[in-house]
Amino acid sequence: MKIKKFKAQTVKEALLLVKAELGPNAVILNSRRLKGPLLPAFGKDSYEVTAALDESAYAMPEQACADEGVATRPAKSVQAYAPRKVETAVAIAELDREKKEKVLPSGLSFEHFAPPAPPANTDGNFSVLRQDIDTMRGALTSLVTSLPDAADQRLGKGLRAIKKELEESEVHAAHIDEIITAIRQRSSDEDTGSISRMFREAQVMIEKGITVSGYSAAQKKGRALKIAMIGPTGVGKTTSIAKLASHFKLKEKLNIALVAADNYRIAAIEQIQTFAAIASIPVEIVFNEEEMERALKKFSGFDMIFIDTAGRSQRNAEHMSDLKRMMAAIHADEVHLVLSITTKQSDLREITRRYADASYDRILCTKLDETERFGPLYNLCRDTGMPLSYISTGQNVPDDIAAATSHALARLIIGGGDA
Ligand SMILES: Nc1nc2c(ncn2[C@@H]2O[C@H](COP(=O)(O)OP(=O)(O)OP(=O)(O)O)[C@@H](O)[C@H]2O)c(=O)[nH]1
Ligand SMILES: [Mg+2]
């Protein structure tokens, strides 16, 4: 790990020095304003940025190649290896090691849990018998899975179909039970009653459960609307800001500014600066609460300020308390917790719970183009009590985003029962 301090008259200049010397994979560890000017003749404050580069994470050691039987290649430059991939591989190996150490009682190895080897086939009849058993097992399995379970059997055809569709959309079982019970109480004649009427009732219930916050509207009160995006890593916070900022600037002709507190990686700073330059939107990069307050003050005459934050794991207590402090300095009008619909449901529950300290008041859901199961949208609203703001449906800036609407989203979760 190479750690170095860079001094310059502005943070931007210091970052250029970091990039020139350590390259784009450098990580910013700290930045601070230095008392007094760097060059007294210029009379301005100066800044110090501490950056680090973990060179070992990017270089593939020749020994490792040899150990894996891979032909040794000529050494490549540090940039030749994608940083995220290398970090992920190291992290997975580390997790694997921890898991083995934690889960296994001492003295046991994974081999103890390996299934016993099948007995040698000493008798020709044995293999015939085995095939018969396999055939019977297959027939029984398909018979059992084609039968509705005991509880489902008590439901009529319509309710069974609704339950199946909601399960396929990955609506939580508890919510499905609630919907089925409510429809059942209203429809005593469920077997003879119209199935499509019952589906409509289910659609209405899903629609009511998906609350939405509506389109962000500039205050028109002589002060900027402050919109902050927070959330786990890589969910689409910066991309969503780029889409919304472009939309409000180009279509609504509003004055937009950006503030990025996502300063952990040089690449993240470049991502937002590049977008801001292309879209001709002013941007400030801030490193602490004091700088955040100054940037917000600078842009207070704009219509909207979008505030980007660094992706944080909900499991890192220190990062979560940094975020909480930063949010307290922002006093945002809207705090969107950005979540990808492709995240496991159990993780979504944990994220929404742990991010509560950062006081989000709506959820922006991304990557709807990467699934066909939309039940998590309903689960998120019901479980957090928060409305959905926008939904993101692809990588294209500015097109792939829309304000969430209950009716359209409910139709993605449950159809009309015609199929
Ligand atoms: N398929 C798909 N990809 C998306 C969507 N939104 C964002 N992405 C992609 O997701 C990746 C991460 O997006 P970013 O906007 O950098 O995510 P972030 O939350 O800002 O990431 P960090 O700042 O690193 O935490 C990029 O490749 C985006 O193009 C979406 O709705 N659908
Ligand atoms: Mg980002």
* Mean pLDDT, residues 146-159 taken together: 70
Report the separation in Å between the CA atom of 390 and the middle of ligand 1, taken as the mean of its atom positions. Answer: 14
**Nearest atom, ligand 1, residue 309 CA:** 23
For the segment 44-60, the average pLDDT, to the nearest whole number, is: 71
Mean pLDDT of the chain: 79
313 Cβ below 6 A of ligand 1: no
CA of 284 to the centre of ligand 2 (A): 14
For domain 225-403, the CATH superfamily is P-loop containing nucleotide triphosphate hydrolases (3.40.50.300)
Residue 263 near ligand 1, beta carbon < 6 Å:
no
| Exposure class string for 184-215: b at 16+ Cβ within 10 A, else e | beebeebeeeebeebbebbbebbbebbbbbee
Q: Where are the domains of the chain?
A: 2-53, 154-210+408-419, 225-403
pLDDT tens track for 26-46: 887 777 777 765 555 555 678
SS3 418: coil
For a mutational test of ligand 1's pocket, the pick from 275, 309, 395, i.e. the residue with the most ligand atoms closer than 8 A to its C-beta, is 395
Q: Which letter does DSSP use for residue 224 in this model?
A: P
Residues contacting 145, CB < 8 A, separation 6+:
none
Mutate to test the pocket of ligand 1, among 237, 239, 240, 392 (most ligand atoms within 8 A of CB): 239
Q: For the chain, how many helices (H) and strands (E)?
A: 16, 11
CA dihedral 85, 87, 88, 92 (to 10 degrees): 140
Q: What's the CA-to-centroid distance between 324 and ligand 2, angstroms?
A: 17
pLDDT at 191: 53
Residue-wise pLDDT for 123-151, tens only, equals 566 677 777 777 777 777 666 555 556 56
Residue 226 is which amino acid? K
Distance in Å, CA 66 to ligand 1 centroid: 36
- Looking at this protein, which amino acid is placed at residue 75? A
Is-contact 272 283, C-beta < 8 A? yes
Q: Would you call 341 helix, strand, or coil by DSSP? A: coil
CB 46 less than 6 A from any atom of ligand 1 = no
Q: What is the per-residue pLDDT for 37?
A: 57
Lowest mean pLDDT among 126-140, 158-172, 318-332, 337-351: 126-140
Q: What is the pLDDT of residues 254-297, one digit of tens each?
A: 999 999 997 677 888 888 999 999 999 999 999 999 999 999 99
The response to whether residue 399 sits with its C-beta less than 6 Å from ligand 1 reads no
State the average pLDDT over residues 233-240.
96
Give 42 or 179, the one with higher predicted confidence: 179
Q: Return the minimum-mean-pLDDT range out of 46-60, 77-91, 217-231, 402-416.
A: 77-91
pLDDT at position 80: 30
Alpha-carbon distances of 315 from 17, 233, 321, 337, 344, rounded to whole Å: 33, 12, 11, 16, 15
Work out whether the CA dihedral 182, 184, 187, 191 comes out positive or negative: positive
Long-range contacts from 153-159, C-beta under 8 angstroms, 24+ separation: 155/180, 155/184, 155/190, 156/190, 156/191, 157/191, 157/195, 158/187, 158/190, 158/191, 158/193, 158/194, 158/195, 158/198, 158/199, 158/417, 159/183, 159/184, 159/190, 159/198
- Local structure of residue 242 (DSSP, 8 states): H
State the Cα–Cα distance between residues 138 and 131, nearest whole angstrom: 11
Q: Which two tokens stand for residue 360?
A: 């989000």
**Ligand 1 centre distance from Cα of residue 116 (Å):** 45
For the record, the structure tokens of 45 come out as 């404050």
- Distance from residue 209's CA to the centre of ligand 2 (Å): 30
Percentages helix, strand, coil for the chain (3-state, rounded to 5) are: 50, 15, 35
Neighbours of ion ligand 2 (CB under 5 A): 237-238, 262
Assess whether the C-beta atom of 239 lies below 6 angstroms from ligand 1.
yes
The answer to whether residue 92 scores a pLDDT higher than 60 is no
* Distance from residue 272's CA to the centre of ligand 2 (Å): 8
Categorize the per-residue pLDDT at 391 as very low, low, confident or very high, splitting at 50, 70 and 90: very high
Closest alpha carbon to 158 in 203, 205, 191: 191
* CA separation, residue 168 to residues 65, 176, 178, 383 (Å): 45, 11, 16, 19
Average pLDDT rounded to a whole number, residues 240-249? 96
Q: Is the pLDDT of residue 364 over 90?
A: yes
